[in-house]
Each structure stands twice: as C-alpha cells, then as structure tokens.
Amino acid sequence: MDPYALVIAPVRSDPEFEAKMQIVRAVCHFAGLGCRLPKMNPGKFQVEAAIEAILGATVIVADLTYARPSCYYELGLVEGAGRRASLVAVTGTEIFQHSERGSVAYYDDLAAYELVLTHALDGPRQEASK
C-alpha cells in the first residue's frame, strides 16, 4: 500500500475548509504521500473503515479548530488504536481533553497553516526512519 497522510478536520464549520484541503493535497504531493481527507457529505460513519485508515496511515494530522466533537471522536479512535496524531489548530482554539493537548501547533492564517502542516507531515516520518 502506498504511504498516505490521514487528515482529521472540521468540514462544514470551517469556512476555509476547501482552501485548507488544497494546501493539504499540495503538501502531501510534495512529501510523496497520498492523502485521505474528510468528506463534505460522508454518509454514515463506519468505525471499522476509520480504524483501518488509522492503522494504515503513514502519518495522521488532526485539526482541532472549532473543537468539533467529530474530530475529537476520531482523535480518540487514533489514540485507542495506539497511534499518535500531530495536532494543529488556529490560534486561540481551546483544546479539550486529549493526552497530547500540550503539543498543538497553532497557526494564524493559511500561510502559517501550510507551514505547520508541512512540519506535521514531515516530523513523524523523520522519527519513523530513525
């Protein structure tokens, strides 16, 4: 299976969702990764498929902006599967219960989002290759 990044992010509540996903696609392409993105109209959530995607991901990034319960739910699945996610959020976002809540990379705008995303995708891959 080809390496891919799994992205957890708010969809309908984020007015910049489409712009962010364009950035994700570009950064993943540059990093040599495929990407699995949240869908605008996903239908019924399938836990088994989500866990399979989590276990197969090369790297996982969770954007906690807007504190969406669905994002925290998926992040709980990541942690329950024994995986780690790189956490990102817009500056000022309140971060709720999570074991890695002190390691959030904050961004102020789309340019900064691209930078934190690039680091989030590259950091865990560098650690895995050591």
Instruction: Tell me the pLDDT tens digit for each residue of 53-97.
Output: 999 999 999 999 998 999 999 999 999 999 999 999 999 998 887
Q: Is the pTM of this model over 0.85?
A: yes
The domain that contains 38 carries what CATH number?
A: 3.40.50.2300
Comparing CA positions, the residue from 71, 84, 86 lying closest to residue 120 is 86
Bridge partners, residue 88, by sequence: 63, 105
Task: State how many domains the chain has.
Answer: 1
pLDDT at 112 over 50: yes
pLDDT at 129 over 50: no
Structural domain boundaries enclosing 50: 4-128
Bridge partners, residue 89, by sequence: 106
Helix 17-31 and helix 110-128, axial crossing angle in degrees, nearest 10: 40
Provide the token pair at 88: 């990102």
